[in-house]
Amino acid sequence: MSRIIPNISVDCVIFGFDFNQLNVLLVERKLIDEKSNKVLIDDWTLTGYHILEEEDFDTAAARILKKMSGLDNIYLEQFYAFGGVKRVNSPKDMLWLQNQSEGFSERIVTVGYFSLIDNTSVTLSLKERNVKWFPISNLPTMGFDHREILEKALERLRAKLRSEPIGFELLPEKFTITQLQRLYEEVLGTTLDRRNFRKKVLQMKYVIPLDEKQKGVKHKPAQLFIFSREVYEKTKTERFDFSI
């Protein structure tokens, strides 16, 4: 059996959009004193753990995510390695690591992975530890430096959403501009001007208006659109790309 590496871990920041808000997947870190029944620790962390001796980072991230949450076949992208000297700092962090009794080092570096999924389309299977989605706007107390790792991942996610079409595929195949705007507002954490948004979207050749409107809504039905990745790939240009 392959042993864990005491000083190297991976942490997965799984963002989930549910058509309404942006969420992140967290795992409960709970420690109860057996004698007194006193709760010593009860907070939350990212889905992460130590890598094994015979395992690369990508494999470790997928294995650990699956083990902790049941999520499988999620596209995970490495985004940053965290090597701060004081990553494990608080008495709670120390206590937790001592209690795991797996021989962890005092200084652990971690490699961060992130993903953005439609979290209404997946089911979490609860394992030994409680795992659930939290809205980004209402996060619980988090252990270690996981809040910082989450912030860095969110920064990367936002930069990516601003420059690549990573949002469209989280919406229904046929979507309204309002649904798309909701996604951008939630991920970017801001409100956007409705008219400007609409104008920009209508200029995108890869967002194709249909001769079809919403059905079964109480309000005035809105026009539906589809996103074409093919058209996007064929028409995109980089600002300084002279080679195409």
Could you tell me the sign of the dihedral formed by the alpha carbons of 42, 47, 48, 49, in that order? Answer: positive
Instruction: Give the nearest distance from C-beta 36 to a second copy in angstroms.
Output: 36
91/95 Cα distance (integer angstroms) = 6
Q: Residue for token digits 């409680």?
A: 130
Q: Read off the tokens for 208.
A: 């194709």
Q: Taking CB under 8 A as the rule, does residue 241 contact a second copy?
A: yes
Q: Taking CB under 8 A as the rule, does residue 134 contact a second copy?
A: no
Q: Taking CB under 8 A as the rule, does residue 234 contact a second copy?
A: no
Among 3, 127, 200, 213, binds a second copy (CB under 8 A): 200
- Tell how strand 109-118 and strand 4-17 pair up: parallel
Instruction: Give the nearest distance from C-beta 180 to a second copy in angstroms.
Output: 9
List the interface residues with a second copy, window 58-77 (CB under 8 A).
60
Q: Taking CB under 8 A as the rule, does residue 190 contact a second copy?
A: yes
Residue 37: other Cβ atoms inside 10 A: 7
155/147 Cα distance (integer angstroms) = 12
Q: Taking CB under 8 A as the rule, does residue 172 contact a second copy?
A: no
Cβ distance to a second copy smaller for residue 140 or 209:
209
Cα separations in angstroms, 8 against 48, 63, 109, 208, 211 = 11, 15, 5, 46, 54
Cβ distance to a second copy smaller for residue 19 or 79:
79
Binding site for a second copy (CB under 8 A): 5, 7-8, 51, 53-57, 60, 78, 80-81, 83-85, 107, 109, 111, 161-165, 167, 181, 184, 188, 190, 192, 196-197, 200, 236, 238-243
